[in-house]
Structure 1
Amino acid sequence: MLNLMFTQLAFFALLALPFIAANKQTVGIEGKLTCNGKPYSGAKIKLYDHDTLTMDDKLGETQTDNTGYFKLIGTGSEVSRLNVKFNVYHRCGKTLPVCYYKYSWAVPQSYVSSGTYPQKMFNAQTIELSLLEKHRDCLN
């Protein structure tokens, strides 16, 4: 009986370990989107922690303003270092407003900070959407 209780306790301790040992980490990104040289408003920007074996964890989401500018800070908890990417969903160059075009970028690990506020922002600069490959996404 005592052996069974110890086994159960050890099992639940192992299950809880990732939640206990996970570190809060933060990343910040900013940039500007243009479409054919003009500011692109209303694009969706989503920040993710890319996981290999499980679904990606969404860290944050925003939209570009009327000047095409976006700024996004996201926080997540992981035992290891966050593996951050951001996705842009847009309709630049689409004739029918069905689905979006999607493009993804990796954020360098050096922009991931411990804690709840980024120590430095990743500046994506100005991204011209009309020059990107067109990957269709209808489920964002």
Structure 2
Amino acid sequence: MKIVYLLIAIPIVFASEQSVRVVGKLTCHGHPAQYAELQLVSKFSIGGEAFARNIFTDPAGNFNIAGYINPSSWSKIDARLYVWHKCYEKPYEHSDPCSNWFEIKIPGIYVNDGPFAKKKWDLGEVKLEKPRSGQQLDSCD
């Protein structure tokens, strides 16, 4: 019975808040990708998602997204950034109301201890017209 309590207590003792912050700019054929949607998610190998944070790019295409997870995790979070946009490879393509989307895995070195991210991952300019591995088109119901 003591072993069971120990196995439960160890993760709680070593659990700590972790945070992530990602900044950058989205462009489409040289123009700002205005109001593209971004979502910051932390995935667990067991149990699904830990946090989800949604924002939109500003009129200049810039974004600054951050989130944290409370001490319920005892391992590094597996943070991902999802991007939904309406930029296509050829400027004359248009599939409104459909959106392209893709996922970016955030490197573990940008996962911070504590509720406020001290280190940020600066993606720089992301050109949305360039197809990405795993990019998909949302269903257009």
Task: Tell me the TM-score normalized by structure 1.
Answer: 0.79
Quick one: which amino acid aligns to residue 112 of structure 2?
S
Q: Could you tell me whether the CA contact under 8 Å between 2:17 and 2:68 is conserved in 1?
A: yes
Q: Does 1:97 align with 2:114?
A: no
Distance in 2 between residues matched to 1:48 and 1:73, nearest whole Å: 10
Of all paired residues, the percent bearing the same amino acid is 24
Contact residue 51 and residue 68 of structure 2 kept, 8 A: no
Higher helix share: 1
* Equivalent residue number for residue 88 of structure 1: 83
Q: Partners in 2 of 1:57 and 1:100 — Cα distance? A: 25
Pair 1:19–1:69, CA change in 2 (3 A)? same
Q: Secondary structure at the match of 2:54?
A: strand
* C-alpha RMSD of the superposition: 2.5
Largest Rg, 1 or 2 = 1
Instruction: Name the structure 2 match of 1:24.
Output: 17
CA distance in 1, matches of 2:39, 2:109: 19
SS at 1:79's partner residue?
coil
Give the equivalent residue in structure 1 for 2:120: 121
Which amino acid in structure 1 is aligned with residue 85 of structure 2? H
Show the counterpart of 1:43.
Answer: 36
- From the superposition, tell whether residues 31 and 23 of structure 1 become closer, same or farther in structure 2 (CA, over 3 Å): same
Report the CA distance between 1:19 and its aligned residue.
Answer: 6.0
Name the amino acid aligned to 1:136.
L
Query: Deviation at 1:58?
Result: 2.9
Unaligned ranges ≥5, structure 2: none
Q: After TM superposition, give the deviation of residue 119 of structure 1 in Å.
A: 1.4
Cα distance change, pair 17–124 in 1 and its aligned pair in 2 (3 A): same
CA shift for structure 1 position 67: 0.3
Distance in 2 of aligned mates of 1:69 and 1:130:
16
Report the residue type matching 1:35 in the other structure: C
Please say which of residues 32-41 and 85-94 is displaced more in the overlay: 85-94
Kindly indicate whether residue 65 of structure 2 is the aligned counterpart of residue 68 of structure 1: no
Counterpart for residue 138 of structure 2? 137
